[in-house]
Structure 1
Amino acid sequence: MMKRIATWIAPLLCLLSIANPSAASATPASDTPHDLSALIAQIDTITHQPRYAAADWGIAVVSLDSGHMLYAQNAGRLFQPASIAKLFTAALTLSTLATDYRIPTRLLSAAPIRHGRLEGPLLLYGMGDPTLGTPGANPAWADDLAGQLTARGVHTIRGDLVADDSYFAGPQFGSGWEASDLLGWFAAPAAALSVHENIVALTVTPAATAGGPARLSFAPDTAAPPLTGSLTTAAPHSHDDINLYRAPGHPLLHAFGSIPAGTPARTYRLAIPDPAQQAGEELRAALASHGIKLEGQLRVLHWPERDDALRSHAQVLAELLSPPVTEILAQGLKRSQNLYLQNLLQIDGIGAKAAAADKPDTPSGFLSDEAWGLRALHDLLGRIGIAPSSVLLEEGTGLSRGNLVTPEAMVRLLQYLAAQPWAATLRDMLPVAGVDGTLKRRMHDGPAIDRVQAKTGSMAHVHSIAGYVTTAGGERLAFTILLNNYEPAPDAPAANQDIDAIVQLLAGWHGAD
């Protein structure tokens, strides 16, 4: 089904919890509770408002100091979590990978080098780095790899350049991701060979006068997709009618409609449909700029295609390493970046698959790396003591509406995380109320500011937050707040305003009776 860009990409951006300044709570300190009974009564007052009659609240608050459950509302029921599901992937990754692990991207070849000529194909092999080509993480990645090849004396490649992202076994989108999401940046392909976070920015600029064609530009321009249709410039003060559509699985972008004259340019961030192709094109250009002649063509390998002969007895000719996995996780949680968490889940799955290779209970038949990652997550939850029926996850980001968790399971996970040697590291990865990440513009006044570290989540009819707060009385709490099946009336406050008000109450609480 075709949907207008103005009406479907913009609302769904909230899936990654882009903050809304109007959602900030303004609960004054004088209204903060001084005992547990007052805390419970004030939370109940918020959740029992008439506008939530058809909605569902799920809340669990646990003291990390005493271990006692201080507040629970529907804590044992399943809710859609949205992006707070990323905390489960983070827990698995921190339990599985070394915190200083860096993900490689390599140039490989089994061919010999004779007199500066590589006598065969060159393989650009991605192993899951989601940060390649981003500021602070190998932004000049293609030039760096080509430079390493030049340093080996290579000036000619007598074969093809093969961009290979088959390291991940499984589709490049998470289970349960909806087809209508796949054009948006938040559902960019979770590819083993990724570049620029698999995002291209499209800017639509109106002509100087009505009737003229709007100008469409892409950044990076090398990632511009094939384009059809046209956007015109409408009369000043008319409504935007910008429509963008790409059929799932096809690169062709359709653009049509209009943008009013005299209005600012509009920018949309779109998923790159084939990141490996994009990476291959960028490396081919870098090879040429370094004077390396490619005699063959650019080819792309996607799962389930394989060419094991390319990697058999291959040597590493050049290599780039990602930032440490802790930095990737921090970016993924602060910004709620889906690509980062889905790639980490698949890397975790590859490790789980290798560890299970010689065990008698290893499943027969094919399992995707995503499925292996979820299998490892369920094993971890069992060790924590979280019932499998209370955490039903399909992928690693929270984007799937098939994900279901109970508030009780979420706070149990937070308790586990708080007791690990890397607890402080994990806590520093979370957005801080009023300070950074997806909480930068939320709770920027009142008792919660700089005392709440929490992961946010939001999609249509789903609003959530889970994390830690230190109360006014100095008690450390873990909390989860989930609101499902809620659509505010046009004149009603944003849902996050009441969620933030509950967090402010927790932050302002002075202690138990």
Structure 2
Amino acid sequence: MPIFYFISLRKFIFSICLFFYCLSTLSQKIQPYQKLQKALEDLEKDSILNNGYVGFCLKNISTRQVVFEKNSKKTMLIASCMKLFSTATALEILGKDYTFKTQLAYTGKIESGVLQGDLYIIGGGDPTLGSPDFPNKPNANQVFETWANNLKRLGIKEIQGKIIGNGSYFDQNAISKGWIWEDMGNYYGSAVYGLNIHDNEYKLLLKPSTTLGEEVKILGTEPVLPFLNFKGSIKTAAKGTGDNAYIDGYVMHNDRFLSGTIPQKDSFFIKGALPNPAYTTAYLLSQYLNKKSIKIAQEPSFSYDSVPNEAINILEIKSPTLAEIVREINLFSINLYAEGIFKQIGKSKNTEKEAGKIIQDYWKGKGMDISGLEIGDGSGLSMKNGVSAYHLAELLSLMSKSSSYDVFNQSLPIAGISGTMTNWLKSTTLQGNLRAKTGSMKGVIAIAGYFTNAQGEKMSFSIIANRYQGTYSQMRKKFEKVFLAMQMP
């Protein structure tokens, strides 16, 4: 038998072995995407999405390539994932060290312990003033104490004029485009104004009845706000039924409309949005000063007109840094703070009402395809928002190259550990590895963030479901299957 026959046979066997080796390697490479495709197909076929739809996008940050997508260019509602655009853009435009400022000032003159003029609280748009969320900053009572101490330092024992809360820094029409009536009076729908205090919220103290179906008794508010008028009623429901009560009411109006139920308990409270924080700040300061024996001749007031040029500054209070505020926004999904930085983005370009367009233009300039991107507000409450899975994954990918990335990334909740991701992906390979912002409202759930795959590659991802029928917990479990499938082997 010729020797070339054996050589050809060896080459043939080698070729066969090489073919099956390459096939095996290719199979290993595409297997994760097959698993991911199946997980997404299973999700789409699930009865929970009979009337709904899902969008998904997975990007390799190093290559900036989309490695897998499903309806990734479909514009959808994303709820609180809108905060990713607000916080990322604020860090880029304003800088991580940016602070809001609130001033205490007066007009007139001080003689013999009497201020012959008005005392002004001049807001600078700070959404965190007096908030209990920042331990290194004063809460509301501590803010009032600081102001009172500075008046005493000037020898002021009496104010012949008024205490005026000035909110002219932002527009008096505080509601963002596309907000709905049902959100506005509730604490999570607190609008941001030029002057804000204590997260622009209050507690309504209630006492349920011992009889099911009967009205609950209103015990008052905390802080005491006698100018609020509560109408309607809240009924008593069985123990364990949870908080199903609502406070409705428009901005700048003191009428509040109550509805819904609360469970039988010794006591209960729900939280509402302050309709006029500028006035509330002036009112609460006047009450505090009276207790400290500083007399005020006239009733507190508010203004959205410019502060008189002759006003003399007494004290300036700075907010936490933007980096600290961004952390609270993304970790705990605080709408008020997101709206504050959203408006400041517009204010920085002298066009407060065009913050959405400024954000669009900024990311378009960075290379994002903004077709279909619609931005109505900074928090995600607006029904005018429209964002695709691609937009979110691309935003995250672009931010990974930014000098603001570390601050931005560290603000995101960690799966199974912190913030709104505490209950996600526990005891899985993604616990502690995946960072993401969550978003949810009725019929809407969205998650977007970063993780490192088994090959050590940093990935950005986003998934959105709209018009699903079921509970948040049910959707969380279904999304988790997708997340586990998107890892490399």
Q: Same fold (TM over 0.5)?
A: yes
Residues 328-337 or 380-389, more deviating:
380-389
1:430 matches 2:426? no
In 2 relative to 1, CA 228–378 (structure 1 residues): closer, same or farther, beyond 3 Å?
Answer: closer
In 2 relative to 1, CA 347–59 (structure 1 residues): closer, same or farther, beyond 3 Å?
Answer: same
**Aligned pair partner of 2:59 in 55, 59, 62:** 62
1:400 matches 2:382? yes
1:80 matches 2:77? yes
In 2 relative to 1, CA 340–218 (structure 1 residues): closer, same or farther, beyond 3 Å?
Answer: farther
In 2 relative to 1, CA 388–240 (structure 1 residues): closer, same or farther, beyond 3 Å?
Answer: closer
In 2 relative to 1, CA 343–444 (structure 1 residues): closer, same or farther, beyond 3 Å?
Answer: same
Gaps of 5+ in 2: 1-27
In 2 relative to 1, CA 441–218 (structure 1 residues): closer, same or farther, beyond 3 Å?
Answer: farther
1:484 matches 2:484? no
- 2:203 is paired with a residue of what secondary structure? strand
1:157 paired residue number: 159
CA contact (8 A) 1:61 1:70 kept: yes
Distance apart, 1:290 and its partner CA: 3.2
Give, as a single letter, the amino acid of the residue that structure 2 aligns with 1:193. Answer: L
What is the CA–CA distance in structure 1 between the aligned matches of 2:245 and 2:36, rounded to whole Å? 47
1:40 paired residue number: 36
Deviations 1:52-91 (A, max 9, x none): 3432111110011232211111112211121111111112
What is the CA–CA distance in structure 1 between the aligned matches of 2:66 and 2:213, rounded to whole Å? 64
What is the CA–CA distance in structure 2 between the aligned matches of 1:56 and 1:81, rounded to whole Å? 13
1:386 paired residue number: 368
1:146 paired residue number: 148
Give, as a single letter, the amino acid of the residue that structure 2 aligns with 1:342. Answer: E
Give the TM-score normalised by structure 2: 0.85
CA contact (8 A) 2:245 2:270 kept: no
Distance apart, 1:275 and its partner CA: 1.5
What is the CA–CA distance in structure 1 between the aligned matches of 2:370 and 2:266, rounded to whole Å? 50
Give, as a single letter, the amino acid of the residue that structure 2 aligns with 1:148. Answer: N
What is the CA–CA distance in structure 2 between the aligned matches of 1:256 and 1:451, rounded to whole Å? 42
CA contact (8 A) 1:192 1:343 kept: no
- 2:218 is paired with a residue of what secondary structure? strand
Q: Cα RMSD between the aligned structures?
A: 2.8
**Aligned pair partner of 2:123 in 110, 118, 126:** 126
Distance apart, 1:493 and its partner CA: 6.8
Residues 57-66 or 46-55, more deviating:
46-55
What is the CA–CA distance in structure 2 between the aligned matches of 1:493 and 1:286, rounded to whole Å? 45
2:443 paired residue number: 461
Query: Percent identity among equivalent residues?
Result: 24
Give, as a single letter, the amino acid of the residue that structure 1 aligns with 2:129. Answer: L
Residues 155-164 or 199-208, more deviating:
199-208
**Aligned pair partner of 1:375 in 357, 372, 379:** 357
Counterparts of 1:177-216 in structure 2, within 5 Å, are: 177-207=179-209, 214-216=216-218
What is the CA–CA distance in structure 1 between the aligned matches of 2:415 and 2:194, rounded to whole Å? 33
1:253 paired residue number: 256
Residues 493-502 or 452-461, more deviating:
493-502
**Aligned pair partner of 1:327 in 301, 311, 324:** 324
How many residues of Structure 1 are paired with residues of Structure 2 in the alignment? 454
Counterparts of 1:197-236 in structure 2, within 5 Å, are: 197-207=199-209, 214-218=216-220, 220-223=222-225, 225-228=228-231
Counterparts of 1:499-510 in structure 2, within 5 Å, are: 499-506=479-486, 508-510=487-489
What is the CA–CA distance in structure 2 between the aligned matches of 1:231 and 1:417, rounded to whole Å? 46
1:288 paired residue number: 290
Give, as a single letter, the amino acid of the residue that structure 2 aligns with 1:410. Answer: L
Give, as a single letter, the amino acid of the residue that structure 2 aligns with 1:49. Answer: K
Residues 213-222 or 337-346, more deviating:
213-222
In 2 relative to 1, CA 376–256 (structure 1 residues): closer, same or farther, beyond 3 Å?
Answer: closer
Give, as a single letter, the amino acid of the residue that structure 2 aligns with 1:395. Answer: D
2:475 paired residue number: 495
What is the CA–CA distance in structure 1 between the aligned matches of 2:215 and 2:172, rounded to whole Å? 41
CA contact (8 A) 1:33 1:39 kept: no
In 2 relative to 1, CA 170–480 (structure 1 residues): closer, same or farther, beyond 3 Å?
Answer: farther
Distance apart, 1:149 and its partner CA: 1.9
What is the CA–CA distance in structure 1 between the aligned matches of 2:291 and 2:265, rounded to whole Å? 40
What is the CA–CA distance in structure 1 between the aligned matches of 2:321 and 2:463, rounded to whole Å? 31
CA contact (8 A) 2:206 2:220 kept: no
2:25 paired residue number: none
- 1:444 is paired with a residue of what secondary structure? coil
What is the CA–CA distance in structure 1 between the aligned matches of 2:473 and 2:291, rounded to whole Å? 55
Distance apart, 1:239 and its partner CA: 7.8
1:413 matches 2:415? no
CA contact (8 A) 1:150 1:290 kept: no
CA contact (8 A) 1:108 1:311 kept: no
1:17 paired residue number: none
CA contact (8 A) 1:39 1:509 kept: no
Distance apart, 1:449 and its partner CA: 0.7
What is the CA–CA distance in structure 2 between the aligned matches of 1:374 and 1:82, rounded to whole Å? 15
